[in-house]
């Protein structure tokens, strides 16, 4: 059994019957009283973030997880079909396990986190950046490049993002999938 000294960022464990992942932790040794570990945990089933404090030396139940590369195939009935890039095994992933499904594109390689003992999918991680083509945006006005003003634009996956005024329909841009924000124009 592991204890609180084994806690690190990204560690997955079972807490009160729920699977949680450590987002951040801090070991605190006050001048008076026993030491403790203050953590911020994400529930892997609901995505909710909670604060939890462990007393020093408290035993924890570590869960083994695996990150596997899967290629996105298609969407069907609110769920998504993926194929393992090496074994060609296909899995069906429910929509709530994907944080930003509007950025998914056919043949995109994503990382799926699996609970190793139960072989159940926990979450789907998209690539950090994607390149997309602007399918519609209002035309920019000449000379409007001096400010940091953004305008709405639709990309080829159907998602709406905010881009600078100088971006036009047909331009290729780089989008951060974690935040959904414009990063740069692609030549």
Q: Which fold has domain 129-186?
A: OB fold (Dihydrolipoamide Acetyltransferase, E2P) (2.40.50)
Percent share of the chain, pLDDT over 90: 61
Q: Tell me: domain 65-125, CATH 3.30.70.260, correct?
A: no
Residues paired with residue 81 on neighbouring β-strands, in sequence order = 74, 92
Tens digit of each residue's pLDDT (9 = 90 or more) over 125-153: 999 999 999 999 988 766 666 667 889 99
Instruction: Check whether 116 has a pLDDT greater than 90.
Output: no
* Fold agreement between 65-125 and 129-186: yes
Asked if residue 65 lies in contact with residue 12, where contact means CB atoms within 8 angstroms, the answer is yes
Q: What pLDDT, on a 0 to 100 scale, did the predictor assign at position 44? A: 84
Q: Where are the domains of the chain?
A: 2-62, 65-125, 129-186
E strands along the chain, which residues?
Answer: 2-3, 12-15, 18-28, 36-43, 49-55, 59-62, 65-76, 79-84, 90-94, 109-115, 120-125, 129-137, 150-155, 160-164, 172-176, 181-186
* 79-88, 136-145, 176-185: the lowest-pLDDT one: 136-145
User: What kind of architecture, by CATH, is found in domain 2-62?
Assistant: Roll (2.30)
Instruction: Check whether 117 has a pLDDT greater than 90.
Output: no
Q: What pLDDT, on a 0 to 100 scale, did the predictor assign at position 59? A: 92
Q: What pLDDT, on a 0 to 100 scale, did the predictor assign at position 165? A: 86
Asked if residue 149 lies in contact with residue 141, where contact means CB atoms within 8 angstroms, the answer is no
């Amino acid at each position: 059994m592991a204890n609180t000294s084994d806690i690190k960022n990204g560690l997955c464990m079972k807490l009160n019957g729920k699977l949680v992942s450590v987002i951040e932790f801090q070991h605190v040794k006050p001048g008076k009283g026993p030491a403790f570990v203050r953590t911020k945990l994400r529930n892997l089933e609901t995505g909710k973030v909670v604060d939890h404090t462990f007393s020093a030396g408290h035993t924890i139940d570590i869960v083994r997880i695996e990150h596997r590369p899967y290629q996105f195939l298609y969407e069907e009935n609110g769920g998504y079909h993926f194929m393992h890039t090496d074994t060609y095994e296909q899995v069906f992933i429910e929509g709530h396990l994907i944080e930003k499904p509007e950025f998914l594109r056919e043949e995109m390689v994503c990382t799926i986190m699996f609970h190793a003992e139960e072989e159940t999918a926990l979450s789907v991680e998209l690539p950090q950046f994607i390149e997309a083509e602007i399918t519609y945006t209002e035309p920019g006005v000449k000379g409007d490049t001096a400010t940091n003003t953004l305008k709405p634009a639709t990309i080829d996956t159907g998602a709406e993002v905010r881009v600078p005024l100088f971006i036009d329909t047909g331009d290729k841009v780089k989008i951060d999938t974690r935040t959904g924000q414009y990063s740069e124009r692609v030549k």
